[in-house]
Amino acid sequence: MSNTNLTGFTWLAYSLMTVASWGVYGVFLHSGVMGMNSPGAPPDPNARYKAFLFVGIAYFLTAVLAPFLVLVVKGTSWSMPAKGMSWSLLAGVVGAIGAFCVLLAFGAKGSPAVVMSIIFAGAPIVNAVVSLSLHPPSGGFASIPKPFLVGIVLAAVGGCLVTFYKPPPGKTVASVPVQPAGEPSALTPAAEPGD
């Protein structure tokens, strides 16, 4: 395979990296929320907001500092038309709202697997509808290929099936506290005097 053919699939590699990143996003975010609760303490009602604060810090590091450095290195002109800035800011706002709503869904007792399945099945449908509304096909809506419409229906059905038939979680193994050496364990009776 020639180098030209390989570079033609660079977009696919980046797309798959995004799939992997967003695929673990909900799981890692839920783990972050759970990790904000101190061991042995009652659950922190603000744990999800604390976790989202660190999501925001991560966004700052990766979505502000990284592109800023790339622009500096590339010697860009700092001309930024208002239309580009406003659409980009709107994209950032809806992305952050989506991330925040994921946390709210978890806080409302939504299972991470189910919540993320609904999101990843529903988001492509919303994307298709909004894209077609903003940029209608040249032949009109009647020119939309039938397989495209079937794909939208399959995405919706797939999201429903994953949501309704998600396997139940396995049994969790209770952890046994580690006793410091030389101290009696709570699991074994203390020695009687004279033993």
Band the pLDDT of 168: cuts 50, 70, 90. Answer: confident
Q: What is the pLDDT of residues 31-48, one digit of tens each?
A: 999 999 888 888 898 998
172: nearest Cα among 69, 60, 34, 79 = 34
- Please compute the mean of the pLDDT values over residues 77-106 and round it to a whole number: 91
> pTM surpassing 0.85?
no
User: What Å distances lie between residue 11 and 5, 16, 28, CA to CA?
Assistant: 12, 9, 25
Q: Looking at residue 178, what is its pLDDT?
A: 52
The answer to whether residues 33 and 109 touch, using CB atoms and an 8 Å cutoff, is no
Distance, in Å, from the CA atom of 22 to the CA atom of 27, rounded to the nearest integer, reads 9
